[in-house]
Chain A
Amino acid sequence: MATTDHRLSTADAPSRGLDLAERAFDLVRARSADAEVEVTIRQGTEALTRFANGFIHQNVASEVNHVLLRVALDGRNASTALDGPADDVSLTRMIDGVLEAARVRPADPDWPGLAPRAAAPDVEHWDDATAAADPDERAARVRAFVDAADGLETAGFCSTTTVHLAFANSAGQRLIGRGTAAELDGIARTSTADGSGRKASVRLGDLDGREVGERAARKARDSSDPTDLEPGRYEVVLEPDCVANILSFLLVHGFNGKAVEDGRSFARLGEPQFDGSIDLRDDVTDPGTIGIPFDIEGTPKWPIDLVSSGVTTGLLQTRRTARAAGTKSTGHAVEGGAAWGALGANFILGSGERGPAELIGSVERGVLVTDFWYTRILDPRTQVVTGLTRNGVWLIEDGRIVRPVTNLRFTQSFLGALGPGAVRGIGADRAVILGGWDSIFLVPSLHLESWNFTGGAKG
C-alpha cells in the first residue's frame, strides 16, 4: 500500500517563510522601533529509515517549523528560537522575552552588527522528487541494500531532508533558499568483519540500494578473517570518508576564524603548510555539493580558496570573527555555533586522475583504510588526533592488497599527514560525504606517505 508523508507544500513554502519572517520582523519593530532585528525561518521535513539485523527497526519522520530571532539594542543582543506553532501569540511571547533579555544584558563591545544587503549566489541544490519522497521509497532502497548483501547481516539508514530557508533583517537583507538531500549509508557484516557502502546526493533517485549494498557486502567479504598487523608507521591509502574526517578537524580547529583569533589554529596565511598537490576550496555553488548559499546571519557564501598548491590562502569567518580579524564574513555562521566560530562549510578537495586501483598500485608497503571511527583531537594547534579504523582495512605490499588486517588505533597529526611532500597521490573517486555542523565534503581518496598506527584493536 502506498503511503505519504504529510509535508509543507513545496510550491509556496519559500514565500510563506519570508511572510512569516516579515511578520516576526514587524512584531519586533512594533515593540522596539530602534531594534536591530534578524529573523530566520527554517521549514521542511526530515525523514530517516533505519535498519539493522536485515530489517527496518526505526523509521521516523518529522515536520520542521523553526523560527530564529536575534535582536540588538545599542549592541546589547540576545537570540531566541521557537519550534512549534508560529502564531502571533507564540511570536509575541518570544519577542517580548528576547527584548527583555537584550535590555538587561551589558553592551557587547564586539557586536558586529547585521549583514548588509547583498545577493547570494544563484544556486539551488534542489530536487522535486526528493522533496516529495515517501517512506515507501526509502524502504525500497533499504530492501535493495539488504537483498544485495545476499545473506550477510546488514545495518544502516536511508534519509531524505527538505529545507526551506527564509531570512530577513532590519538592514534590508532578504534571502530565500531551499535544498534537498538524500543519503544511503550501511554496512554488511560477516562473522569476522564489517564492510561499508554509502552515497549522498541532492537526489534520492541517485541512490541505488543494490549498488551501495553490493559494495558493502564486497568489502565485508574481502575483509573477513583479518589478522593483526604490527603497529607502526605505514603508507596509507585513505578512502573518501577518512579524508572528509581529516578535513572536518582542519575546518573546526584550523580554517575557522575563531580558532585563529584564539591562537588555537595552525593556519598561517601565505605559508606552504600542505603538500603542493593540495587544493582546497569552500564552494557551495559547485554542482556536486549540497546546501544553501547563505548562512544564519544572512551573509552570502561565495567560493573561497583555502589552500592553493599547498599554500594556505583563506579562512572562514562569521560576522563576529570577521570583525575581530578586520575582514568580512564569509557566510559561515551556524545556529548554536557562536562558541565554536565559523563552520557550515562546503569543502571541495581537488581530485586527481588516478583510480583507487592505481593509488593502491603505487604503495610499496602500506594500509588501505575504508573508514575512520571515533576520532578525537589531542591538540588543536598540532592537529594530533587519535581514532580507529573501521569497516575494512587491508595490508598492501608491492602495489597489491595481500590480506585484511584487524582494526588499528592511530595517533597522528592530520596536518602533518598532508604536509609538504607527504601526499603521494590523489584519487579521481570524489564522493559527497555529509558531516556535522551543516558541513559537506566533496573529496577523493588520498595516498599518504606516513600514518602513525599506535596500537591494535586488542591493545
Chain B
Amino acid sequence: MDDIGIAAVEAALAAGAGYADARVMETRTEAMNARNGVIESLDRAERAGVGVRALVGSSWGFFAVPDVSSAAARRAGEQAAAVARASRLVAGPDLWLTPQVATTGHWDSDCREDPWSVGLAEKGDLLEGVTKAMLEHGADVAEASHRVWDTRKWFASSEGTHVHQHIVECGAAMSATAVGEAETQRRSYPGIRGQYGTRGWELIRELDLPGNAPRIAEEARALLAADACPSLDATDLILGGEQMALQVHESVGHATELDRILGWEAAFAGTSWLELPKLGSLRFGSELMNITADATLPGALGSFGFDDEGTPAHPVDIVRDGIWVGTLSGRDSAAIAGIPESGGAVRADGFDRIPMVRMTNVGLQPGTDSLESMIAATDDGILMDTNRSWSIDDKRLNFQFGCEIGWEIKGGKRGRMLRNPTYTGISPRFWGSMDMLGGHDEWMFWGTPNCGKGQPQQIGHTGHPAVPARFRGIRVGVRG
C-alpha cells in the first residue's frame, strides 16, 4: 500500500503542489445493539480508499476516492492539487510547516484478544443477557451495545515520511431507563458513552457488564422517587471520574486546540477564551491542575504511533501546576503560532476526511486524595457522577453540565440520592476552585468515541485520563 500513497503524492506534486501527503486506509467496523433482551441490529462495514492533501502556494486542497488502485490514487492526487488551486481565489498569508525529520516506521496498538476471534453468538449472548438482567431489576428500557474498529493506514509524504499503523479499538456500553409519570431517569455503565480503548475484547471482559447491570437498573428506578437536586448558588461539589473526563474534554481539551485558538473553527465549533500571548503565564486552574496530552498511553482511546501528518506520538504538557503551558497542534497551526514543533495531534476519521487538530489522550494527572477522603472532608456538598447532558459556549468558557445521579454530602457522609443534578460555571474560576484530587488508584483512561468537530463533520476518538475531584463554591441545580 506504500506504493499507492506514493503514487498519489507524486501525482499531486506533478500537478503543481509544493507539498503533498496521502493516507491509504482500510477500516473494518462492527456494531451490535441490544434492547430489552433482543439484538436489534448487527452492522458491519468495510471502508477502503485514499485521501490526498496538497499545498499549492499557501492554499490547501484535499481529495478522496473510495478506491485503492494506483490509477485512483493518482487521480486523487491531481484533484487535490486542482482543489488547492481553486482555494487560491481566496488565499491566505504565506504558510509553512514545522520541520519534520523524514520518518519510516510501523506501530500496532495493544490487543490481547482479537475482537474478530470472539464469536458473534458470545457477543450477542452478553448483550442480550445484560439487557434482560436490567429489565428484571426495574428498567423499563434496557439497552447495550459494543463497537469494534480495526484500522490499517499507510501514510506517505513528499518529504519522505512513510509510516504504517494497525489500530484496534474496542468497547461497550449499557444503560437502564426508568419511565415515570412526568420524566425519565437513566443510569449508564461504565459511563454515558460506555468505555472504549485501543485494546482488544479483553477490555469488554474487564468491564464486567453482567456484574453491574442489576445495580444500574435499580438506581434508575430509585431515581424516579429521589429528591431533586437543590438549587444552590454555591456549594462544595465532588465529581466522579467519568464526569471529570467530560469536564476535561469540554473545558480543557477543546479550549486548547490550536486551530480553535487561531480562529479556524470560529464559524462552527467556535474559538477559545485562551489567547496565545498568555501561553505560559495564564492561570487556568488551581496548583493541583496538571493536564497532559499524551498519545503514547497504552490502551487509551486517543493513542497511536504517528498522527495523520506522520508526526511521532509524544506527550505534551497542556497545564502545569495550574498554568496554561501548551496546545494541541499540527504542523501548519504550530508554525503559524510560532511553536517550534507540531504537537502531533492531527487526525482524520477516515480516508475521505481531511486531517485536523484533534485531542489525543488529554487527561488530568492524579493527586493524592480519594473519593472517600473527599466525602469525609466535606461538611456540606453534593457528589455527582456519570454525565447526562453537556453544553458549553463557543469560547469554551461558560458551561452547564448535568449528571445522571447525585448524592447529598452532610457531615462527611454520603446521604440521600438526588435526581437531575446539574452544575454550572466559568472555566478558570471552576478549575481554580479545585482543592482535592483522586490518586493513582482511581486514575482511569476514559474513552470518548463520539467527539464531533469540523465541516464536513468528523467523529473523533479521544482519551481522557481522569480521577474524582472536589470543587468549592459551585452553583448547582439549575432548572428549566
- CB within 8 Å of B: which residues of A? 1, 3-6, 46, 48-66, 77-85, 90, 93-94, 97-98, 101-102, 104-106, 108-110, 134-136, 138-140, 142-143, 146, 153, 155-157, 159, 185-187, 189, 194, 196, 262-264, 320, 336, 338-339, 373-382, 384-388, 390, 407, 409, 411-413, 452, 454-459
Contacts and interface: CB of A to CB of B under 8 A. Distances in A.
Interface stretch (B42-50, B284-292, B337-345): B42-50
A142 B44 contact: no
Nearest to B85: A3
Q: Which 5 pairs across A and B sit closest by C-beta, in order of nearness? A: A55-B92, A135-B86, A84-B48, A263-B179, A384-B480
A243 B39 CA distance: 36
Nearest to A411: B480
Nearest to B41: A338
Contacts of B48: 83-85
B31 to A, nearest CB: 8
Contacts of B45: 80-83
Nearest to A46: B456
Given A83-B45, A339-B143, A378-B402, A373 B394 contact: yes
Contact of B44 (A83, A97, A264, A379): A97
A262 B179 contact: yes
A388 B398 contact: yes
Contacts of A388: 391, 393-394, 398
A53 B59 contact: no
Given A56-B59, A98-B44, A382 B182 contact: yes
Interface of B: 31, 33, 35, 38-49, 51, 59-69, 75, 79, 82-87, 89-93, 119-121, 124, 128, 140-141, 143, 145, 177, 179, 182-184, 262-268, 270, 352-354, 356, 388-394, 397-398, 400, 402, 420, 422, 424-426, 429, 455-456, 475, 478-480
Given A49-B87, A373-B394, A452-B480, A262 B400 contact: no
A110 B38 contact: yes
B389 A186 contact: no
Given A52-B264, A52-B266, A105-B42, A85 B66 contact: yes
Contacts of A109: 38
B60 A135 contact: no
Given A105-B39, A407-B393, A411-B478, A56 B62 contact: no
A156 B426 CA distance: 27
Contact of A382 (B75, B140, B268, B480): B480
B223 to A, nearest CB: 11
Contact of A52 (B41, B267, B392): B267
Contacts of B263: 52-53, 153, 155
B354 A58 contact: yes
A80 B79 CA distance: 30
B400 A373 contact: no
B267 A378 contact: no
Given A105-B42, A338-B41, A458-B426, A376 B390 contact: yes
B56 to A, nearest CB: 10
B179 A55 contact: no
A146 B61 CA distance: 19
A375 to B, nearest CB: 7
B46 to A, nearest CB: 5
Contacts of B420: 378-379
Contacts of B59: 56, 59
A48 B356 CA distance: 15
Q: Which of B48, B63, B75 has the most CB of A within 10 A?
A: B63
A457 B398 CA distance: 6
Contacts of A382: 182-183, 480
Contacts of B424: 409, 455, 459
A78 B44 contact: yes
Contact of B128 (A62, A94, A106, A338): A106
> Which of the listed residues A50, A84, A153, A187 has the most CB atoms from chain B within 10 Å of its own CB?
A84
A196 B266 CA distance: 11
A146 B89 CA distance: 11
Contacts of B397: 457
A56 B66 contact: no
Given A56-B87, A386-B389, A80 B82 contact: no
Nearest to A98: B44
B267 A157 contact: yes
B90 A378 contact: no
Nearest to A216: B267
Nearest to B51: A62
A3 B83 contact: yes
B188 to A, nearest CB: 14
Nearest to B53: A60
Contacts of A60: 61-64, 83, 353-354, 456
Contacts of A373: 270, 393-394
B476 to A, nearest CB: 13
Nearest to A263: B179
Given A376-B391, A382-B480, A84 B67 contact: yes
B429 A459 contact: yes
Nearest to A161: B456
Contacts of B145: 339
A51 B393 contact: no
A264 B480 contact: no
Contacts of B267: 52, 155-157, 185-187, 196
Nearest to B35: A339
A23 B35 CA distance: 33
Given A52-B262, A378-B389, 15 more contacts: A56-B91, A60-B61, A62-B63, A80-B43, A84-B67, A105-B42, A106-B128, A143-B90, A159-B455, A186-B267, A264-B141, A339-B33, A409-B424, A455-B398, A459-B398
A381 B43 contact: no
Contacts of A138: 86
Contacts of A143: 89-90
B87 A59 contact: yes
B475 to A, nearest CB: 8
B189 to A, nearest CB: 17
A442 to B, nearest CB: 22
A193 B68 CA distance: 46
A59 B391 contact: no
10 contacts: A57-B264, A59-B83, A62-B63, A63-B66, A83-B48, A83-B66, A85-B67, A90-B46, A135-B83, A376-B390
B162 to A, nearest CB: 22
Given A455-B398, A459-B398, A79 B44 contact: yes
A381 B66 contact: no
B388 to A, nearest CB: 7
Nearest to A183: B455
A390 B394 contact: yes
Nearest to B397: A457
A388 to B, nearest CB: 5
Contact of A139 (B86, B456, B475): B86
A268 to B, nearest CB: 13
B266 A339 contact: no
A138 B120 CA distance: 46
A106 B123 CA distance: 11
A65 B64 CA distance: 11
B182 A105 contact: no
Q: Most chain-A Cβ atoms within 10 A of its Cβ — which of B140, B145, B398, B422?
A: B398
A79 B402 contact: no
A2 to B, nearest CB: 9
Contact of A339 (B40, B90, B352): B40
Contact of A458 (B69, B183, B398): B398
A407 B270 CA distance: 14
A424 B48 CA distance: 53
Contacts of A81: 43-46
B149 to A, nearest CB: 14
A56 B95 CA distance: 12
